[in-house]
C-alpha cells in the first residue's frame, strides 16, 4: 500500500491494501475504502496499463487521483471522437446513406440503413445514433489522412 498526493489537484491518494488487513477473515474492500475516505484519502494510481494484447504492461506515472484520471480519459476520448467525426464528414461528400449503418448491416447487426438528402442531416444522425468511437473508427480507411 502507498499513500501520496495527486500531481494535478493535490488530493491525498492511496492505492493497495496492506497484506495483514486483506488476509483477515471477513475482509470487505468497500468498508476499507470508506474508512480511507473518512480519513481524507481518495483512490489513486501511480502506474498506467499500456500496450496491446500480447504486450500489455504497467508503466510508472505521476500519482493521480481517480477523479483527475477519469477527467483526463474523458477529454482524450472527446478529442478522438472529434477527430474521427471530421474524417467521417470528409468521407460523406456524395454519400447519403449512413456508412456506420451499412457496415453494421454488412456484419449482420443492423437491418435498417439510414438514408437522407443532406450532409448535415447525415452528420446529425451519426452524432445521435452512433456514439461509440469504436464504431466510427471501423468505417474509416486505415492509414489514410484526409
Query: How many domains does the chain fold into?
Result: 2
Same domain, 6 and 62: yes
Residues 102, 112: Cα–Cα separation, whole Å: 8
What are 64-77's pLDDT values in tens digits? Answer: 999 999 999 999 99
Same domain, 97 and 65: no
Is 32 within the bounds of a domain?
yes
Domain with 27 in it: 2-69
Q: Give the bridge partners for 48, in sequence order.
A: 59
| Residue 49: pLDDT over 80 | yes
Give the pLDDT score at 146.
43
Element (H, E) at 56: none
Q: Which residue has the cell 477523479?
A: 67
Q: Nearest 5 degrees, angle CA 134-CA 146-CA 84?
A: 25
Helix ranges (H only) for the chain are 19-22, 29-38, 66-91, 99-106, 119-129, 133-139
Mean pLDDT of the 81-88 span: 86
134 Cβ contact list (under 8 Å, min separation 6): none
Same domain, 15 and 53: yes
Is 55 within the bounds of a domain?
yes
Task: Report residue 13: phi and psi, to 5°.
Answer: -125, 160
Give the pLDDT score at 57.
93
Is 85 within the bounds of a domain?
no
Same domain, 61 and 14: yes
| Residue 29: pLDDT over 60 | yes
What are 97-141's pLDDT values in tens digits? Answer: 888 888 888 888 877 888 888 888 888 888 888 888 888 888 877
Of the residues 34, 69, 104, the one at which a domain ends:
69
How is the beta sheet containing 41-50 ordered, strand by strand? 2-5, 12-15, 41-50, 57-65
Q: CA end-to-end span of the chain, whole Å?
A: 48
Q: What percent of the chain has pLDDT over 90?
A: 26
Same domain, 13 and 57: yes
Amino acid at each position: 500500500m502507498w499513500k501520496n498526493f495527486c500531481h494535478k489537484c493535490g488530493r491525498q491518494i492511496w492505492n493497495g491494501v496492506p497484506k495483514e488487513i486483506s488476509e483477515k477473515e471477513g475482509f470487505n474492500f468497500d468498508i476499507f475504502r470508506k474508512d480511507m475516505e473518512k480519513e481524507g484519502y481518495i483512490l489513486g494510481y501511480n502506474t498506467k496499463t499500456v500496450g496491446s494484447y500480447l504486450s500489455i504492461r504497467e508503466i510508472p506515472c505521476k500519482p493521480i487521483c481517480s477523479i483527475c484520471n477519469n477527467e483526463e480519459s474523458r477529454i482524450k476520448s472527446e478529442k478522438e471522437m472529434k477527430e474521427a467525426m471530421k474524417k467521417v464528414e470528409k468521407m460523406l461528400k456524395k454519400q447519403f446513406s449512413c456508412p456506420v449503418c451499412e457496415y453494421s448491416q454488412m456484419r449482420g447487426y443492423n437491418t435498417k440503413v439510414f438514408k437522407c438528402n443532406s450532409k448535415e442531416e447525415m452528420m446529425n444522425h451519426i452524432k445521435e445514433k452512433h456514439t461509440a468511437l469504436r464504431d466510427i473508427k471501423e468505417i474509416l480507411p486505415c492509414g489514410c489522412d484526409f
